[in-house]
């Protein structure tokens, strides 16, 4: 089920933890950027004419920050150039401080049918320290405005001075409307170069053990509310798993458009430049904006398949592995399996990491991709 990803790099303010390709002072370049985005789509369309796409995802940045005409234009261009299933999952990321009823009308005309809302935390003081541009009340208003749609909400754990009660309050708020069918629960990562990294260096963030305890509490609390974990950071009600993200974890194909967007087509992974000016220059001069490209094959492809599958609650389907690579998982990864046998289990035709060890899956995966 191939997917289309569209990157919108503009935002009103950069969060203290963000290391994505997002730029709070470049909104004046939006017109030129989207014109190049539409052109990039056209340039890729011929090689993708035989592909039918199942999902479309607008990420950022803050897609809901820009004039909605650009989102409408991108959807119109996609519809004109690519084959998209009639019931495709079409997601737009939303910051509660930038969504309005007028914008929603345009999104509806564009065909957006799923929204991913960034709450992060229900604590207004923490929101300010993260440099989020919205309040708890604005999230509540956004949730009310979007309540008739299929919704996903982002919640972050591991914030400075965050308690289990704080996380419980955030989950309660995130799940307070009927339309919320999906929760993404992310542990804060203090990436080098971000303001949050300074807090990490100063010892102002919770320890790994403290975050792990809060994660375990969150998993159990979300399950009580009807949200089952299907990937280490993702939870959903029955029938509402994110199709777009599942495609990534199943090592499916996808095409990315815009600054910093990555793609995986015909075994080749490639990524665009993260610089807006460089991206615009390349597209205007009829060049691709790629700064990285590699063909993933043989043992690397197998390792990547295993790494992605073991992040999920389903794990590796042995029949699918054999069909994909023509070999047996137990033979290809004999040593890694034997070393990690206490952490793995077989459920039907699947090999998976036991539930209690899924959060620390990185320490297990290293043996499969080393």
Per-residue pLDDT of the chain (370 residues; tens, 9 = 90+): 899 999 999 998 866 666 667 788 899 999 999 999 999 999 999 999 999 999 999 999 999 999 999 999 999 999 999 999 999 999 999 999 999 999 999 999 999 999 999 999 999 998 888 888 889 999 999 999 999 999 999 999 999 888 999 999 999 999 999 899 999 999 887 666 666 655 655 566 778 899 999 999 999 999 999 999 999 999 999 999 999 999 999 999 999 999 999 999 999 999 999 999 999 999 999 999 999 999 999 999 999 999 999 999 999 999 999 999 999 999 999 999 999 999 999 999 999 999 999 999 999 999 998 6
Question: What domains appear along the chain, each with residue ranges and CATH number?
Answer: 3-248 (3.20.20.70), 298-369 (1.10.10.920)
In angstroms, the CA 116 to CA 127 distance is 18
Residue partners of 319: CB distance under 8 A and separation at least 6: 349
Please give the angle made by the CA atoms of 85, 8 and 175, to the nearest 5 degrees. Answer: 70
* CA 18 vs CA 7, 21, 24, 132: distances in Å: 15, 9, 12, 11
In angstroms, the CA 28 to CA 300 distance is 42
pTM of the model: 0.94
pLDDT tens digits for 125-182? 988 888 888 899 999 999 999 999 999 999 999 998 889 999 999 999 999 998 999 9
In angstroms, the CA 71 to CA 46 distance is 22
According to DSSP H, which parts of 99-202 are helical?
101-110, 124-129, 136-145, 164-174, 195-201
Residue partners of 151: CB distance under 8 A and separation at least 6: 114, 115, 116, 117, 143, 177, 179, 180, 181, 182
Task: Name the residue among 105, 99, 161, 108 with its Cα closest to residue 130.
Answer: 161
Residue partners of 263: CB distance under 8 A and separation at least 6: 5, 254, 255, 256, 269, 270, 271
Report how far Cα 221 is from the mean position of its chain's Cα atoms. Answer: 22
């Amino acid at each position: 089920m191939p997917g289309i990803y569209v990157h919108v790099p503009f935002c009103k303010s950069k969060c203290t933890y963000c290391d994505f390709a997002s730029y709070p002072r470049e909104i004046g370049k939006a017109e030129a950027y989207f014109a190049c985005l539409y052109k990039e789509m056209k340039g890729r369309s011929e090689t993708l004419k035989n592909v039918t796409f199942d999902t479309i995802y607008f990420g950022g940045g803050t897609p809901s920050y820009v004039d909605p005409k650009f989102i409408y234009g991108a959807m119109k261009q996609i519809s004109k150039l690519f084959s998209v299933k009639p019931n495709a999952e079409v997601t737009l990321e939303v910051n509660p401080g930038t969504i309005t009823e007028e914008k929603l009308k345009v999104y509806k005309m564009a065909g957006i049918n799923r929204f991913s809302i960034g709450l992060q935390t229900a604590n207004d003081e923490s929101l300010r320290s993260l440099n989020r541009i919205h309040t708890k009340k604005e999230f509540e208003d956004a949730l009310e405005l979007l309540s008739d749609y299929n919704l996903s909400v982002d919640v972050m754990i591991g914030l400075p001075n965050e308690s289990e009660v704080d996380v419980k309050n955030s989950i309660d708020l995130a799940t307070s409307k009927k339309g919320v069918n999906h929760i993404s629960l992310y542990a804060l990562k203090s990436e080098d170069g971000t303001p949050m990294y300074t807090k990490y260096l100063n010892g102002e963030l919770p320890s790994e053990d403290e975050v792990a305890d809060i994660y375990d509490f969150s998993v159990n609390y979300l399950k009580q509310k009807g949200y089952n974990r299907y990937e280490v950071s993702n939870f959903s009600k029955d029938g509402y798993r994110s199709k777009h993200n599942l495609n990534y974890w199943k090592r499916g194909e996808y095409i990315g458009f815009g600054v910093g967007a990555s793609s995986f087509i015909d075994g080749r992974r490639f990524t665009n430049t993260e610089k807006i000016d460089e991206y615009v220059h390349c597209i205007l001069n009829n060049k691709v904006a790629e700064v990285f490209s590699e063909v993933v094959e043989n043992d690397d492809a197998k390792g990547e398949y295993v790494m992605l599958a073991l992040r999920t609650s389903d794990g590796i389907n042995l029949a699918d592995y054999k069909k994909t690579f023509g070999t047996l998982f137990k033979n290809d990864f004999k040593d890694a399996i034997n070393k990690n046998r206490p952490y793995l289990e077989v459920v039907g035709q699947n090999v998976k990491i036991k539930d209690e060890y899924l959060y620390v899956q990185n320490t297990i995966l290293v043996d499969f991709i080393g």
